[in-house]
Structure 1
Amino acid sequence: MNNALTGLGLALVLALVAALVGPWFIDWNAYRDDFAAQASALVGAPVTVSGDVDARLLPSPYVRFRGVTAGAGDARLEASEIEITLAIGPLLRGEAKAERLKLVRPVLNLAATAGGVLTTPFGAGARGARDADRISFERAEIVDGALRLATPSGPLALTAIDGVAEAGSLRGPFRFEGAATTASGRATFKLSTAKADDLGVLRLKLAASLDGRPETFDLDGALTIAAKPRFEGQASVARPETKSDPKDSKAKAEAAPWRLTAKVAGDGARLAFDSIDAAYGPDERGLRLAGKGALTLGATPRVDLAFGARQLDLDRFAGADRPKTPLGVIEQIAARFAGAARPLLPGRITIDVGGVVLAGDVARTLSAELVANDDVWRVARASVGLPGDARLAASGALVFVDREPGFAGKIDFAAGDLAGLRRWLQGGVGEGGRTAIRRLSVKGDVSARMGGLAVDNARIEGDGAVTSGRLAWRGAEDGQRAALEARLTADKLDLDALGADRLVAGLIRGADTDVAVTLDANALTLLGVSLRDVALDAALDADGFEVRRLAVADAGGAKISGRGRIGAGAEGPEGRLAFDVDAQRLDGLIAFARAIDGAGGAADVLARRAAALQPAKAAVELTTGAAGHRVTARGSAAGGAFEARLSTPRFALDADMDMALELGSPDGRSLAALVGLATSPVASAEGGRLTLALKGAPASGMTGDARFAALGLDLAAKGDVAFAPAERLSAAADVTLKSPDIAAFAEALGRLTPGVTPAIPVDLAARVAVTADQAAIETLTGSIADRAISGRLVVPFDARAAFEGEATVDEAPAAALLALGLSPEGLTAGTKSGRSVWPSAAFGPSPLRGLNGRIAVSARRMPLGLAEPATDVRFTLALRPNATSVERFSANLAGGGITGSLDLSRPGLEATLAVKAAAKDVRLERLTGLGVASELIGVIEGTVEAQGSGRSLSAIMASLAGAGSATLRSAAIRGLDAAALDAVEPMIEQGLPLQAPKIAGALEALIGRADFTAPRLGAPFTISGGVLRSGAIVDEGAAARLGGGVSIDLSRLALDATLTLGPRRADAPQLGVAFQGPLAAPRRKLDATALTSWLSVRAVERETKRIEVMEAEIQQRARLARERAAAEERRRAEEQRVTDEKRKADEERLKELQLLAPPQPTLPPTFDLAPPTEGETQGGR
């Protein structure tokens, strides 16, 4: 037994040694044909091994072949080297499982026929196909492989394949991850499949992406393995959104996400696409189309696709920063599809979209058919409905040059609402252009691209008017100037409707564009101007400008003719242009001027003065040469003759110029209008002259003088002026203004009513500085109405801003301020009525209406209509368009001071006056001018606030309402002696009749002997309906007592005061004192009614007192008698008491004696025969 075991072990050792050592001594190349035969049986095709063969059995079976070829012709498999390492366990079970498989430079060549039949190196009856389930590999490494497919249309290839694959069997499942080089670059592939079923259907998923690119390709479906393979499934190509520079349109386009998915079904001959979903852009604002189609393979592959959508929103797709015009949006979007400039395959694409949102409107029913052939896109048909009831149809070739789209073909365009279409084309700005044409149609042969357009054989029909000829435009590019060519003949032509107004405006503003125009039109519209009988032959290029013929019978009211040429000479431009203008109206010329002056400022100035200038005639001549340029104009305008000239070495703001203008006219209104002054039609307007002379460079400064002498005004200026573009207008000049009657000038301007204001002479001088924003009047000196004035004023040119200034005057009458705020005619003294001392004339327009600003005023004196004027006056005159205010008013007055404010508002025909005032330490007697002779003396302190409204000053005073308080210190009322009241009673006792008139008459002679004085009198007051009514008068510290109230009718300046006067004691009498009549001289009246009543009461009181004294005396005597009787009675009672007590005592002693003495015989009683006393008699009663 041991020997047997020993022998078996020795056999195993020898076998292992043979397996390990044997391969090193075996020549495997000798078995090359055997290996090739086995491989041929396995793949079903002849296999040859031309290189070395290496093999070993341990530790795992391993074999390596070099120079392997399988198959022949176009379908073959080649490999430089194949390494196979087999697993021992599966091999012992009859299965071939490669633990490791390495293919070095394998090349698989396949061939496909036009019918889709695929030829491979593998035979259908191969043993590998029969034993497919028993053959697998865990890891197959492919190094530098290639896959080549020969097709009737040309070869396709994947090269430099590197990757790793695995297979559960030769029927699957398979997995591959690797990379390969494609026609578009290096790509990464991931492939996974299920196991093929008995029918050869293999489910697979493929994902591929180009290195460095975000796009991905995914395929998911079923591949039927057969001689004519077929695929059914879902395919998608997508690019996710990536970050990019928002300013780089190309990078932005490449960063935009897109996605294309479809159901795919077909074989090598034809692939059908269904449920196509094409999306471009972010999901929330992208473009999306649905469709279907087919890809036909074979010798001449082609693709046919049909797309459609209910609506495409190009505005949302372009984003919030999109251009406003439809062409701008299209240009921006078209740049993103420049990659489609050349079609990849021949074919046809149709697009049908219900609506396209573009530039804020909807283009309707977009339909297009694009045919790709010979690397060119052709538009077989295209049509779209545009805003403005427009329709565009086109056919021709669509080409891309340098990523920009272009078109060459025929167009047929018609618009039923041209204004609406232009408004849309302009991005919704304005009203669609200045055109009267409503319907327009254009037909012709078009060559168009982003930078140019040409229409040959053009037929343009607008509202029945036909124009024919050629139009061409080329944008500036490659160093070339833009060019415009027009050769047109028309009965009626609206160039504005064609967009030429913007082109012409650009040319006039100096655009670098070559223009050649030949035009004959019976009626023409350009820049909003209707022209009649127009003939033009002109050219503009870099060498100069030539007008061979210009004749316009009517250009907005003007007849124009001219010719000439200015070209390039040896030393610069040289030539001559001459024009004749005969304008009954200047409307057309103003429209052209507005086009020349882009901002419209100068044209607006001319438009505001057109009525004054027309009719006008002028002969204008421009000559230029080596000596410079000269422009002259002579003719008539503004009702008079004018001459203007300008000479300069070159037309530039920094060039020296010599310009002059002289205009004389008897029509002062026209002259006033030329300098920007509006005149009243009811006032006289004296004519005169307007002159201007300037020398120098406008940008740096010109020196000269100007004068306006008309309307009774002589205004002259001498100084410097500049017109620098950056700083705009600036000037500094010494200005003088003289007039014998500035009121007449104000009447001519409608600021004053003619014939109301007296003559006001003016003589002023100032330094005036003008900038782009304001005019500053400095060092103003002179006189107005023979009153000295000085100050300054700054006036901004912005109508919304307020001017500000300062003024120092010798005298500023308060009446003049009221006249400025209310109107002079409203203060005319001759218009007073019996019910008011104030003028009752209705207010006219305020001379200060419409002004907005503030002027700080100081005046040496201000007459107030009182005996003394206010002095050292300071206030701010605040002006608003419908109001005038005097703010922060302060002044010295009659030894004291006054402060306050005054507001005058004029919202309509009525005026509202609001006043606030306060007085302190003002001597009343100085205001009246009577001094010590004044009826009322004292120092005034008080405040008042009042407001009134009306159409006249009398109405305002009659409506005043307000309140205040007044105090009179050191007060004295002349001829009002309260001591006179005490002298009346003795006169009554002496026989003066107790009658009020008699007593008042007696007091008149007594009351004037002294004055009423008080340290302080005060009372509050209210104003209502133009009447001031005081409260109870309070007198402080006066020897006499003063009471009552005061009423002043402010409309009539009438006083109605009812006072009470009396001595300051409890039982003092009171006298009624009334002051009535004009406030300046009231009448005093004494009312002794109350005093008479008091005296009557005093008389009754005296009689009553006498009777009371008599009664008191009687009562006193009766009282004394009663007191004496009572005393006597008390005495007698006392005596009786004493007598009674004595008697009782005697009786007691008698009883005691009787008791002690023996009894006596009874005696009869004694009788008292004396007469009774008076007391006893009364006591008996």
Structure 2
Amino acid sequence: MRETLTVLAGLLVLALLAALVGPGFVDWRSYRPHFEERLASALGVETRIGGAIGLQLLPSPRLTLRDVRFGGDDAQASRAAVETLTVELALSALMRGEFRIADARAEGATVVVALDEGGALRLPARTGSGLPTQTSLDRLSVGRSVLIWREAGREPLTIGPIAADISAVTLTGPWRIEGEAAGASVRVTTGAMEPDGRLRAKAFVTGQDIQLTFDGSFILPASGVAPGLDGAFTLSPGGALALSGQVTGGARQLDVASLAIDIAGGAARLEGEGQFLPATGTGSLALRARRLDADALAEALAARPGFERVLQTLPGRLDLSLDLDQLIWRGEDFSALGLRGRLDGNGLSEATASVRVAGALLGASGAADLDGVAGRLNLKADDSRRIALILARAGLDSALADLVAALGQIDAEAIGAWDGGRVGLQRLMVTGSSGVRLDLSGDVTPQRLVAKAVLNGFDLNTLPPGTSFAGLIGTRDLALDLSLTQARFRNAPPGSASLDLRREGAVWRLSRLAIDGFGGVNVAGSGALLAEGGEITGRIRAPRFEALAALAGPLVPETARPVLGRVGDGLARLDAGFRLTRAPSGETGLVLDGAAQAGRLSLTGRLDGGGRWTGARLRFDLADRRQAFQAFGLPAPRQTGPGELVLEQDAARLVATLAGPGLSIVLEQDGSAASRLTLQAEGPGQILPEGAARLLPDGLVDAHARLAFRPDAVTLDAAVFNLGGAFF
């Protein structure tokens, strides 16, 4: 008996060894047709095996297939292909007559989902009854896979790479899917399939640029009917936008109701509804809001980057309509904003917009994308003062805003484009009831400003200071062609001016300057200063220097502007000739000689090829030397008398002298060192005003000091004063 049991045990061991080891020695490829037939019958679709076949019976049945294709050769139908497919069945379930997939793995799968013109699934031809609906799936791991979505008449959409773990209690649900697709985390849970084909589901998709949730039902009816969905969704493309609403429909049409769009964490909220036709990639979107605070929205968007990524998530082209009852921007109330256009991944096209602000109507048409805006603007305003207030709040220089306020009724039109770094004006035309008309064209970039303008009927009394225009130009290169016609200044007769000015870095080029009228002002010049050389000669006559200074304000250097305002009387009745010469080396020479009410004046100077002064000498023969103190913003001394003011500058040294009877002042500066002052006077009254001079005793003044000039003060250091023999 013992020997019999031993023999039976040995036979059992041999059988187990054969079951474990034997299949490895069998070439299952010769059984390929049998495997394909059985798989086609079990799965219900045609199956083809193009690679190796592996089979293991114990400890549980495991089948490994390579290069497997499901669904036949119909390119118009849905199908799948897998590089390596491994399926392990639960042995205990098989012994109970149940079919349970314990573990499965698909590597390199390509799944093609095809839809017809009506949006219905194109399923492959059936070859069998398929797996029992009670089949359970413990785990299916998918790796290195892609999903291709094909719709009739549209380019295929490829989603990948895909890696996921899938499980199902039965083939009719509940299902659970977790993994990644195209870099986004995906999690889907469902209930069991209902008799009408509804599958209750919750889906969560989280990617770098998008977050999507869905809570509703997938509608999966029988073949020939388009699948669909019905439920609530939330969508956050980027970090600055959040959408929520109800979506219903299928592949032919999706309807969105109760749509709410929160921008920048609730800084703005839009409501509306929409529709989308997946087959044509078109749709419509109607949005509205009662009030939108653009200032709060801009601040919130600046703290939440990613708003520009919204366009990249659009499913197609949408006809957009946006209506705002009230828009707040920089404290100003804009009302009745209406926007219409076509929105797609490239931006907004065929757009029209209108808005009322400060009693004015502003209209626009054109296109906009992430690179910029192009189109036409129209403005009609009955009160330019309210428009000027808006522009001042937007950052326009106050003096320029006052200039706009003086226009009266405004009718303006602009045609141009902005690309983020460049503003191109094909034409800007502004007409004011005050009689002013501006016609301008040009380009503005961070590096360069090019403008051609004709200004008619302008009153120089309202001309802003040169600093206002200098602020607009900044450090940009400049090309300005300006013509003034019928210009007025105070009570003087009208005049005209023509200017052609260029600036390239530190190099200024004046090709044309002509001024005529204004009660005797006449400036004429001829010639050109080009890179290779040239000459401009002319003459300046100005009975009233203020008119000439007003015209030349934008061209006057920053440091000279405050001085001109204080020496206007001394430069009245100016009559001087000037000559500019440019050598082939690039050096420019300047000679000016003439007379004014204060006395004779002469200027000689040299500029290098970069427009920097290399040497200059300015001389004034003053009938009253106190004018020199006033020109530098100093109080006029008690005593007066004639004097000679000379300023000399070379590349690294500046010397200023003021000499006259009883007074000698020398100011020297070498490089970056502090200025040295040497002063000699016959008494305090030569240099100090009446009140200060009375506090000091009379006597010779001999002083030495170091001076430092700041915009708001002049400081003395290491000062030594000898006043009547007493040192301080």
Q: Which residue number in structure 2 is paired with residue 297 of structure 1?
A: 278
| Residues in 2 aligned to 1:15 and 1:530: alpha-carbon distance in whole angstroms | 126
**1:754-903 equivalent positions in 2, closer than 5 A:** 762-769=698-705, 771=707, 772=709, 773-774=714-715, 778-782=720-724, 790-792=726-728
**Secondary structure, aligned partner of 1:91:** helix
Give the aligned residue type for 2:653.
S
Whether the 8 Å CA contact 1:287–1:312 is kept in 2: the answer is yes
Greater C-alpha radius of gyration: 1
| Residues in 2 aligned to 1:368 and 1:689: alpha-carbon distance in whole angstroms | 71
Give the aligned residue type for 1:165.
I
Give the aligned residue type for 2:494.
R
| Residues in 2 aligned to 1:495 and 1:13: alpha-carbon distance in whole angstroms | 120
Q: Which residue number in structure 2 is paired with residue 443 of structure 1?
A: 413
In structure 2, relative to structure 1, the CA distance for the partners of 1:791 and 1:235 (3 Å cut) is same
Q: Which residue number in structure 2 is paired with residue 734 of structure 1?
A: 680
**Secondary structure, aligned partner of 1:649:** strand
In structure 2, relative to structure 1, the CA distance for the partners of 1:429 and 1:337 (3 Å cut) is farther
| 1:648 partnered with 2:605 | yes
**1:656-695 equivalent positions in 2, closer than 5 A:** 656-664=615-623, 688-695=641-648
Whether the 8 Å CA contact 2:458–2:484 is kept in 1: the answer is no
Q: Which residue number in structure 1 is paired with residue 124 of structure 2?
A: 121
Q: Which residue number in structure 2 is paired with residue 894 of structure 1?
A: none
| Residues in 1 aligned to 2:665 and 2:675: alpha-carbon distance in whole angstroms | 16
**Secondary structure, aligned partner of 1:437:** coil
| Residues in 1 aligned to 2:629 and 2:92: alpha-carbon distance in whole angstroms | 120
Map Cα deviations across residues 755-777 of structure 1 (whole Å, 9 max, x no partner). xx9xx995423225362324687
| Residues in 2 aligned to 1:694 and 1:544: alpha-carbon distance in whole angstroms | 23
Which of 230, 233, 236 is the aligned partner of 2:231? 233
Q: CA deviation at 1:462?
A: 0.9
Give the aligned residue type for 2:321.
T
| 1:717 partnered with 2:664 | yes
**1:322-333 equivalent positions in 2, closer than 5 A:** none
In structure 2, relative to structure 1, the CA distance for the partners of 1:463 and 1:653 (3 Å cut) is same
Q: CA deviation at 1:11?
A: 8.9
**1:265-276 equivalent positions in 2, closer than 5 A:** 265-276=248-259
| Residues in 1 aligned to 2:291 and 2:354: alpha-carbon distance in whole angstroms | 16
| 1:563 partnered with 2:533 | no
Q: Which residue number in structure 1 is paired with residue 653 of structure 2?
A: 700
Whether the 8 Å CA contact 2:498–2:513 is kept in 1: the answer is yes
In structure 2, relative to structure 1, the CA distance for the partners of 1:768 and 1:165 (3 Å cut) is same
Q: CA deviation at 1:111?
A: 1.0
Give the aligned residue type for 1:732.
T
Which of 407, 410, 423 is the aligned partner of 2:376? 410
**Secondary structure, aligned partner of 2:295:** helix
| Residues in 2 aligned to 1:492 and 1:341: alpha-carbon distance in whole angstroms | 49
Q: Which residue number in structure 1 is paired with residue 391 of structure 2?
A: 422
Whether the 8 Å CA contact 1:509–1:598 is kept in 2: the answer is no
Q: CA deviation at 1:468?
A: 6.0
Which of 382, 388, 402 is the aligned partner of 1:433? 402
Q: Which residue number in structure 1 is paired with residue 479 of structure 2?
A: 514
Q: CA deviation at 1:500?
A: 11
Q: CA deviation at 1:191?
A: 2.3
Give the aligned residue type for 1:617.
L
| 1:632 partnered with 2:592 | yes
Q: CA deviation at 1:117?
A: 0.3
**Secondary structure, aligned partner of 2:614:** coil
Q: CA deviation at 1:620?
A: 4.1
Whether the 8 Å CA contact 2:185–2:205 is kept in 1: the answer is yes
| Residues in 1 aligned to 2:642 and 2:111: alpha-carbon distance in whole angstroms | 104
In structure 2, relative to structure 1, the CA distance for the partners of 1:663 and 1:288 (3 Å cut) is same
**1:1104-1143 equivalent positions in 2, closer than 5 A:** none
In structure 2, relative to structure 1, the CA distance for the partners of 1:515 and 1:422 (3 Å cut) is same
Which of 87, 90, 93 is the aligned partner of 1:90? 93
| Residues in 1 aligned to 2:527 and 2:87: alpha-carbon distance in whole angstroms | 93
**Sequence identity, in percent?**
19
Whether the 8 Å CA contact 1:715–1:738 is kept in 2: the answer is no
Map Cα deviations across residues 794-840 of structure 1 (whole Å, 9 max, x no partner). xxxxxxxxxxxxxxxxxxxxxxxxxxxxxxxxxxxxxxxxxxxxxxx
| Residues in 1 aligned to 2:408 and 2:304: alpha-carbon distance in whole angstroms | 31
Point out the more displaced range, 419-428 or 695-704. Answer: 695-704
**1:17-32 equivalent positions in 2, closer than 5 A:** 21=18, 24=23
| 1:551 partnered with 2:515 | yes
Give the aligned residue type for 1:780.
N
| Residues in 2 aligned to 1:57 and 1:673: alpha-carbon distance in whole angstroms | 110
In structure 2, relative to structure 1, the CA distance for the partners of 1:679 and 1:48 (3 Å cut) is closer
| Residues in 2 aligned to 1:342 and 1:539: alpha-carbon distance in whole angstroms | 48
- Structure 2 residues not aligned, in runs of 5+: none
Map Cα deviations across residues 152-175 of structure 1 (whole Å, 9 max, x no partner). 212123344333221111101112
Q: CA deviation at 1:112?
A: 0.4
Q: CA deviation at 1:645?
A: 1.0
Point out the more displaced range, 507-516 or 669-678. Answer: 669-678
Per chain length, whose mean CA-contact separation is higher, i.e. which structure has more relative contact order (CA < 8 Å, sep 6+)?
2
* CA RMSD between the two structures: 4.6
| 1:397 partnered with 2:367 | yes
Whether the 8 Å CA contact 1:437–1:494 is kept in 2: the answer is no
Whether the 8 Å CA contact 2:676–2:704 is kept in 1: the answer is no
| 1:75 partnered with 2:78 | yes
Q: CA deviation at 1:625?
A: 4.5
| Residues in 1 aligned to 2:305 and 2:356: alpha-carbon distance in whole angstroms | 20
Q: CA deviation at 1:265?
A: 1.4
Q: Which residue number in structure 2 is paired with residue 162 of structure 1?
A: 163
| 1:100 partnered with 2:103 | yes
**1:899-1048 equivalent positions in 2, closer than 5 A:** none
Give the aligned residue type for 1:420.
L
**Secondary structure, aligned partner of 1:421:** helix
Q: Which residue number in structure 1 is paired with residue 451 of structure 2?
A: 484
| Residues in 1 aligned to 2:306 and 2:146: alpha-carbon distance in whole angstroms | 37
Q: CA deviation at 1:580?
A: 1.8
Map Cα deviations across residues 675-726 of structure 1 (whole Å, 9 max, x no partner). 979899xxxx99852322344549623164412xxxxxx54115344497x7
Which of 205, 208, 211 is the aligned partner of 2:205? 208
Q: Which residue number in structure 1 is paired with residue 175 of structure 2?
A: 174
**Secondary structure, aligned partner of 2:401:** coil
| Residues in 2 aligned to 1:174 and 1:451: alpha-carbon distance in whole angstroms | 52
| 1:385 partnered with 2:364 | no
In structure 2, relative to structure 1, the CA distance for the partners of 1:263 and 1:374 (3 Å cut) is closer
Q: CA deviation at 1:202?
A: 0.9
In structure 2, relative to structure 1, the CA distance for the partners of 1:768 and 1:13 (3 Å cut) is closer
Whether the 8 Å CA contact 1:546–1:565 is kept in 2: the answer is no
Give the aligned residue type for 1:155.
P
Q: Which residue number in structure 1 is paired with residue 543 of structure 2?
A: 582
Give the aligned residue type for 1:310.
R
In structure 2, relative to structure 1, the CA distance for the partners of 1:719 and 1:126 (3 Å cut) is same
Q: CA deviation at 1:452?
A: 3.5
* Structure holding more helix per residue: 1
The size of the alignment, in residue pairs, is 699
- Structure 1 residues not aligned, in runs of 5+: 240-253, 323-328, 708-713, 783-788, 793-1181
| Residues in 2 aligned to 1:26 and 1:536: alpha-carbon distance in whole angstroms | 100
Map Cα deviations across residues 147-196 of structure 1 (whole Å, 9 max, x no partner). 3222121212334433322111110111222334x4xxx34332222111
**Secondary structure, aligned partner of 2:117:** coil
In structure 2, relative to structure 1, the CA distance for the partners of 1:191 and 1:731 (3 Å cut) is same
Whether the 8 Å CA contact 2:311–2:345 is kept in 1: the answer is no
| Residues in 2 aligned to 1:76 and 1:761: alpha-carbon distance in whole angstroms | 111
Give the aligned residue type for 1:217.
L
| Residues in 2 aligned to 1:399 and 1:729: alpha-carbon distance in whole angstroms | 56
| Residues in 2 aligned to 1:140 and 1:237: alpha-carbon distance in whole angstroms | 29
In structure 2, relative to structure 1, the CA distance for the partners of 1:231 and 1:559 (3 Å cut) is same
Whether the 8 Å CA contact 1:439–1:462 is kept in 2: the answer is yes
Point out the more displaced range, 303-312 or 760-769. Answer: 760-769
Whether the 8 Å CA contact 1:369–1:382 is kept in 2: the answer is yes
| 1:310 partnered with 2:270 | no
In structure 2, relative to structure 1, the CA distance for the partners of 1:469 and 1:761 (3 Å cut) is closer
Map Cα deviations across residues 980-1033 of structure 1 (whole Å, 9 max, x no partner). xxxxxxxxxxxxxxxxxxxxxxxxxxxxxxxxxxxxxxxxxxxxxxxxxxxxxx
Q: Which residue number in structure 2 is paired with residue 359 of structure 1?
A: 330
